[in-house]
């Protein structure tokens, strides 16, 4: 029988153990970099919580993929915290953190922030809650997640999901991205507090 209670510790802690992540030989990650990589894997495995988002992403965090462009933490949550709403499962088949590179990036509010770019190669399978035959509901993606970790603030400033070499740029895609990022949280509101966060975990992740 599933546990009927979600503790505050569970809401804030990563489901992936930061100490057991796979790093390429020669890399020496900090504890913060390990934690940020683990939290991002949580998010893509539909194990995200609002507590994890607030603990680990800056208020003006950026998230970009082929169809979304988010420039606030709330918009990022609108994309990543609702995976359990549309997926029956989200599984990381394999991952490897291939590089840790110092780089200055730009936040959603236009701040210039010195960060470490954490590159995570991921093989991931999503099974969607779609009115389709079972064989058509699943998709496996090979992608690189770029996590921009700010050691000074202790937050993720930017997250990019790059299944292709470049995230395409054109006027129509920009319009779709912005509508997607702003619209989802309004249709399905984000948890306002730990009580709502825990209720969401019980309903969607147990």
Closest of 93, 86, 64 to residue 181, by C-alpha: 64
pLDDT digits (tens, 9 = 90+) for 73-130: 999 998 899 888 878 899 999 999 999 999 999 999 999 999 999 999 999 988 887 6
Q: Is residue 117 part of a domain?
A: yes
Q: Is residue 173 part of a domain?
A: yes
Using a pLDDT cut of 90, give the percent of the chain over it.
57
Domain range for 172 is 8-204
Q: Is residue 140 part of a domain?
A: yes
Question: What is the pTM (predicted TM-score) of this model?
Answer: 0.86
Q: Is residue 2 part of a domain?
A: no
- Print burial letters for 105-135: b (CB count within 10 Å at least 16), e (below 16): bebbeeeebebbbbbbbbebebebeeeeeee
Q: DSSP state, 124? A: E
Q: How far apart are CA 179 and CA 110, in angstroms?
A: 20
Q: Is residue 3 part of a domain?
A: no
Q: How far apart are CA 197 and CA 182, in angstroms?
A: 20
pLDDT digits (tens, 9 = 90+) for 38-59: 999 999 999 999 999 999 999 9
User: What is the domain-level CATH number for residue 134?
Assistant: 3.10.450.50
Q: Pairing relation of β-strands 87-106 and 57-64?
A: unpaired
CB contact at 8 A, 46 and 205: yes
Tally of domains in the chain: 1
Q: Is residue 153 part of a domain?
A: yes
Sign of CA dihedral 182, 168, 119, 90: positive
3-class secondary structure for 128-150?
ECCCCCHHHCEEEEEEEEEEEEE
């Amino acid at each position: 029988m599933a546990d009927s209670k979600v503790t505050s510790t569970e809401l804030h802690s990563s489901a992936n153990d930061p100490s057991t992540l796979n790093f390429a030989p020669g890399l020496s990650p900090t504890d913060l970099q390990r934690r940020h990589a683990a939290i991002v894997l949580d998010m893509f495995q539909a194990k995200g919580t609002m507590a994890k988002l607030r603990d680990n992403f800056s208020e003006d965090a950026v998230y970009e993929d082929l169809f979304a462009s988010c420039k606030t933490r709330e918009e990022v949550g609108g994309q990543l915290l609702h995976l359990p709403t549309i997926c029956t499962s989200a599984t990381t088949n394999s991952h490897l953190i291939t590089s840790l590179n110092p780089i200055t990036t730009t936040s959603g509010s236009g701040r210039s922030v010195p960060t470490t770019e954490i590159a995570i190669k991921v093989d991931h399978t999503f099974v969607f809650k779609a009115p389709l035959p079972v064989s058509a509901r699943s998709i496996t993606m090979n992608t690189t997640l770029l996590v921009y970790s700010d050691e000074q603030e202790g937050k993720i400033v930017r997250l990019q999901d790059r299944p292709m070499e470049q995230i395409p740029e054109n006027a129509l895609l920009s319009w779709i991205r912005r509508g997607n990022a702003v619209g989802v949280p309004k249709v399905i509101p984000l948890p306002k507090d730990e009580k709502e966060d825990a209720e969401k975990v019980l309903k969607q992740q147990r």
